[in-house]
Amino acid sequence: MREGGFIVETEEGQPIKLQTRKLDLDVRAYGLGSWMRGGLSGPTRKQILAMRKEAKRREIHAAHCNACREGRSLVASGTELEPEATGDIEVFRTTLSVRGMTCASCTTSIHSALSSFDDILDVDVNLLASCAVVRHRSTFSAKQVKTAIEDIGFQCDVTSSVADLSDPEGDINKIRTTISIEGMTCASCSSTVSAALREVSGVDQVVVDVIGNKGVVVHAKGVTAEAICLAVEGVGYGAAIISSEPLSFRGTESFERTVKITVSGIYCHECVSKLNRYLALLPVKSTQFTTQSHTTTIKYTPREPLTIRDILKGLSNVSPEFQAVLVRETSLNDRSKDIQKREVRMLLTHWIMAFVFTIPTFVIGIVGMVILPPGNILHEFTMRPTWGAAKMGTIIIWPIATVVQFGVGRLFYERAFAPMRPHTRRLLRMALSRDTKIPKSVSRPLTWRYFFNFGSMDLLVVLSTTVAYFASLGMLIIDATSPSSAESVGSYFDSSVFLIMFILLGRVLEAYAKSRTTDAVSLLGQLRAENALLVEDNSAELGPSPEGLDANHRKTTNVPVGHLEKGDLIIVPPGSLPPTDGIIVAGLTTFDESSLTGESRPVRKGPGDEVFTGTTNLLGAVTIRITTTTGETMLEKIMRAVSEASGHKAPIEKLAESLTGVFVPVIVYLAIIVLTIWLAVAGVGVLSSRESKSGGEYFFAIEFAIATLVVACPCGIGLAVPCANAVGTGLAAREGILATTGGEAFIGATKVGVLVLDKTGTLTVGKSTVTDAENWSKLAGDMEKAERMVLEIERGSTHPLAQGLVTYLESQAQSPYRIEIMSTKESAGRGVAASVALDERLVDVLIGNVALLTENGVTLSSVQNELLRQWSEAAKSVVLVALRSNPSSPYVLTAAYALADPPRETTASALATLREMGMQIKMLSGDNILTAIAVAKMVGIPAENVIAGVSPEGKAHIIRSLQQSSWTRPRPSRLRSMISAVPWFHQFDLWRCRHRLGVMFVGDGLNDSVALAAADVSVAMGHGSQATLAGSDFVLLSSTLSSLPALIKLSKRITRRQKLNLGWACVFNIVCLPFAAGVFYPAGGIRLTPVWSAVIMACSSLSVVCSSIALRWGI
């Protein structure tokens, strides 16, 4: 100890000061208790190095901290410090770890005790996490909160107390909270959680995803996220908050960045004061450091010189012993995978324990007592009467079965009865309300639905195994009270052990298979670089250049991805992945984008092109300017969209949930009916001596009820559709398709018969270039003035034609005119009208198509019309410019520009494939009819299917007209033809029913949003506007339509698999239940024993999950 430089306290509490130390510290401060309690083996080398590093940091701290040198250090003595209040902080959020809570009544006691104080605003107690989160005013300290809890008999410690950063100006009526949920195994679990959340006052919408282990709740702002978690935990499931944000803010872009930073080296209140004083000097909004919490949440607007790197460096430089580290947030997908791994590991551990106990049970109960013939030593030993008529084998198996039933099987008891607590509490409240003065409004009246909405698969397991165990115990008591000469009635202890072992085996396989359904998305998550080569001299201007930069040209630093800000320059070497999205500013290379778009052909990239994380740089080094930070990249949006898609439930999935919601109660009642019938049969004496040999007629009858409870499996029904959706969504992501509305989108795509396409940016490249320009100005200099005004007006537009026009005009010689835009008015699908101050003279400008100019009284000559016709027939878009210098004078046509936007290379082949699939293809465009027909001819769309010159609202009107007129009859089969030939059959019209074809619209621009919303299925191009992407059912990440046929085919495969899984799961239960109930037993003794029922039950859910995974292999 002396060599290690530690301070050892004597029994009297007097510290022994060593020469190698200047600071008295308790040995417990080094965190050595864990390995000391583990034995005398001592710490590992890694622990020794960590302790030495910590000791060194403490030495540095002691050398620079006056408070500690003066003996005022409060850490060693265990004194708790309150966070130093700042002038504008009024509310604090204190988290406490609470020991001694055992049930919901404990949480209620704590909640009631704290709510009695006026200065406490909110209280949320987490039973499973053994913690409490309290929001209180600064006048009520964290120490007082702790004292209030301890006064009612619980022990607690303050883990953190930080300022609440809730922005009162940002409060709105609706909040969207996402939580991860642990412990769900089937649709019955999700129904239980959904019902618990809907019971919370203020909750409007609830979506629970079993496969993704998450839930999304829309609630009023008065309901806290912690209350949502508490409701989930109240029914026996674990919950953790992922995000909670105002509903109306969702999808809006913010320049602010919020990060969490942890600082190591905080030992006393002086350290806290130094850090908080430093943060107060920065233009940021942050929570305070405390002696309990060494983490702060900072909200700031990145700008030079305030970046995350500067903040981390500044906090680390406050004192030599400080080291600031950025806390990396765990994504929802990572949390889901962790939950799945823990579930598999926990179930596997329980199964191994059950399997170990099954071995002696099998040897004694099956081999020794059944298989081996009389005269064998083991057989004679196990069959020897030992306790009355009870055999030695039965007595040995009894304690084994007890351990398995209530030790290993405790898992099923906990999961079975936790969801029953709300039902029990409600019944108790109703019972009390009749005898006491509790208001009747406390509980709603009972209905028949209440008795058909309880329990889960675990309840069936508990009932079946418990009945088997206690029936065996009853048989053992009968044997024990009988003379040794009497015949033993036997027991089912071995059945109880085998049941639990086989059920756990099925659960392990099912949990593992479920974890594999999201492998496609998990693989995407691995395509992220952890570090980046940051160009340090970022302040220098760097224009577009084909020559890449490397460390030889500029100084670079290897930094974590989280330390990057928008606008930073980074270098992407060949063979590496871009750490974030950005735009190339220097260098030429090719990228493999197959992981995002599904296209295997490498894409050539140069200055001005976008690159995305998850893609691979194949050739030379390039320098990119960052456009997104961590959490906003295209790859992370894909993963987030796939995760959120599972929360959108298709009608078939809602049907499956409805079935599983009543499945367990129906099976319980059915088992009671089966038991009653077979007890009646046994009582009449119909059973033979062979049937009543083991346990008597009544115990034989119980076997049918046990088998009925065991063989029924709602998990297969509940997992049938979600598993197929999860696998399908992952497959679509690999093809470069995002199904933003999940299974609902896939089902909608299978009904599509009419495909409507936008022209610009969808069928065409979307990058217009000026090919011709015509000047019709009569005065010299008017053309230069017109070009300068058009350039200034269109510079801020995002329309492809405007961007092409700006690129052309910027390449022309700039005239020295002073331009000031006074007002602009856009006309959707036509152009823009503007008023411009040109050298203090007001000029009105029209920029747009022929329709815009005609509306404003401009008449074109025959020569001008002929020129425009020639341009249009060459598939060129026309932009006209008209000016007037006096509001009372007419507009004068000044200039005209022809812009070419060629079709994409793969468009024609993709549309040909869709036509072969039976699709009707139409094109909508706001361009003139001649240009639209010319483009349609290039991609193979007939001229009669082209509708041009329509506004955004007009596109939506046409979509609705197509929906009303697109009907089809089912193809007549030979059987239908024969039946329809009957003279009187035509009046029933059963086979003449028609169904409406779905209409799919594909677009990319902001002006397509109305049409996308009107269509049955909406598809947005990945390069489209954010509003377009947010309102679409599918998003094509590639810039082509080549993945559209794959979308239709994949949707049909997924929908067929959904129906196959659900049908198989239902038929499986329908077929097996009669065998288990003994319906066919009179016809030859055909029945399912409880053990075989457990095996078949495991196969039900496992087969459904494996069927979904088979989609990945094309099966």
pLDDT at 830 over 70: yes
Radius of gyration over alpha carbons of the chain, in Å? 37
Which DSSP helix (H) or strand (E) runs through 877?
strand 876-884
What is the widest separation between alpha-carbon atoms in the chain? 128
User: CA-to-CA distance for 496 and 467, rounded, in angstroms?
Assistant: 9
Q: What is the mean pLDDT of residues 961-970?
A: 71
Which DSSP helix (H) or strand (E) runs through 190?
helix 187-198
Return the DSSP state at 814: P
Place of tokens 């006393």: 268
pLDDT at 1067 over 60: yes
Q: What is the mean pLDDT of residues 326-330?
A: 77
Task: List pLDDT tens digits, range 94-111.
Answer: 877 776 564 444 565 677
> Which one, of 1046, 1043, 1015, 1042, lies nearest residue 1031 by Cα?
1015
Q: What is the mean pLDDT of residues 894-898?
A: 89
Return the higher-pLDDT residue of 297 and 977. Answer: 297
Q: What is the mean pLDDT of the chain?
A: 74
Q: What is the mean pLDDT of residues 987-1014?
A: 69
Give Cβ neighbours of residue 724 (< 8 Å, ≥ 6 apart).
743, 1054, 1057, 1058, 1061, 1107, 1108, 1111
Rounded to whole angstroms, what are the CA distances from 1008 to 756, 758, 799, 943, 1026?
12, 8, 12, 22, 12
Tokens of 433: 């309300």
pLDDT at 1006 over 80: no
Task: List pLDDT tens digits, range 572-621.
Answer: 888 888 888 888 888 888 887 766 665 656 778 888 888 888 788 887 78
Return the higher-pLDDT residue of 770 and 104. Answer: 770
pLDDT at 1074 over 80: yes
User: CA-to-CA distance for 730 and 724, rounded, in angstroms?
Assistant: 10
- Neighbour count for residue 135 (Cβ, 10 Å): 17
Rounded to whole angstroms, what are the CA distances from 458 to 42, 417, 898?
44, 9, 70
**Sign (positive or negative) of CA dihedral 34, 39, 45, 51:** positive
Coil, helix or strand at residue 571: strand
pLDDT at 632: 74
Return the higher-pLDDT residue of 556 and 1098. Answer: 556
Task: List pLDDT tens digits, range 123-139.
Answer: 877 554 556 788 888 77
Give Cβ neighbours of residue 683 (< 8 Å, ≥ 6 apart).
697
Residue 228, judged by CB atoms within 10 A of its CB (0-12, 13-18, 19+), counts as buried
Give Cβ neighbours of residue 549 (< 8 Å, ≥ 6 apart).
535, 542, 571, 586, 587, 621, 623
pLDDT at 806: 87
HSE of 995 in the Cβ direction (CA atoms, 13 Å)?
10
Which segments of 87-143 are extended strands (E)? 91-99, 120-126, 131-137
598: left (phi > 0), else alpha (psi -120 to 50), else beta?
left
pLDDT at 781 over 70: no
Q: What is the mean pLDDT of residues 388-397?
A: 84
Confidence of residue 356 (pLDDT cuts 50, 70, 90): very high
Which DSSP helix (H) or strand (E) runs through 89?
none
What secondary structure does DSSP assign to 654-713, as a single string?
Answer: HHHHHHHHHHHHHHHHHHHHHHHHHHHHHHHT-S-TTTTTTTHHHHHHHHHHHHHHHH--
CATH number listed for the domain at residues 769-900: 3.40.1110.10
Q: Which amino acid is at 206?
A: V
Lowest mean pLDDT among 664-673, 762-771, 1095-1104: 1095-1104
pLDDT at 107: 62
pLDDT at 26: 39
User: CA-to-CA distance for 824 and 656, rounded, in angstroms?
Assistant: 54
> Which one, of 788, 736, 612, 707, lies nearest residue 1021 by Cα?
736
Cis peptide before 305 (omega within 30 of 0): yes
Highest mean pLDDT among 34-48, 587-601, 946-960: 946-960
Return the higher-pLDDT residue of 642 and 925. Answer: 925
Task: List pLDDT tens digits, range 152-185.
Answer: 666 777 766 766 654 433 334 678 888 888 777 6
Q: What is the mean pLDDT of residues 838-850?
A: 84
Percent of the chain with pLDDT over 70: 70
Q: What is the mean pLDDT of residues 1013-1026?
A: 76
pLDDT at 47: 62
Would you state the CATH architecture of domain 532-634? Distorted Sandwich (2.70)
Q: What is the mean pLDDT of residues 414-433?
A: 66
pLDDT at 842 over 70: yes
Return the higher-pLDDT residue of 38 and 424. Answer: 424
> Which one, of 105, 100, 138, lies nearest residue 119 by Cα?
138
CATH fold of 736-763+903-970+988-1042? Rossmann fold (3.40.50)
Lowest mean pLDDT among 321-325, 535-539, 810-814: 535-539
Task: List pLDDT tens digits, range 544-575.
Answer: 444 444 444 567 888 888 888 888 888 888 88
Coil, helix or strand at residue 550: coil
Place of tokens 């009608």: 651
Q: What are phi and psi of 620, to 5 degrees?
A: -95, 165
pLDDT at 691: 55
pLDDT at 543 over 60: no
Which residue(s) pair with 1001 in the sheet?
Answer: 756, 1018
Confidence of residue 11 (pLDDT cuts 50, 70, 90): very low
Q: What is the mean pLDDT of residues 430-446?
A: 49
CATH fold of 166-250? Alpha-Beta Plaits (3.30.70)
User: CA-to-CA distance for 232 and 217, rounded, in angstroms?
Assistant: 11
Task: List pLDDT tens digits, range 694-747.
Answer: 456 677 778 888 888 877 777 777 777 777 877 887 788 778 787 777 777 888
Return the DSSP state at 320: T
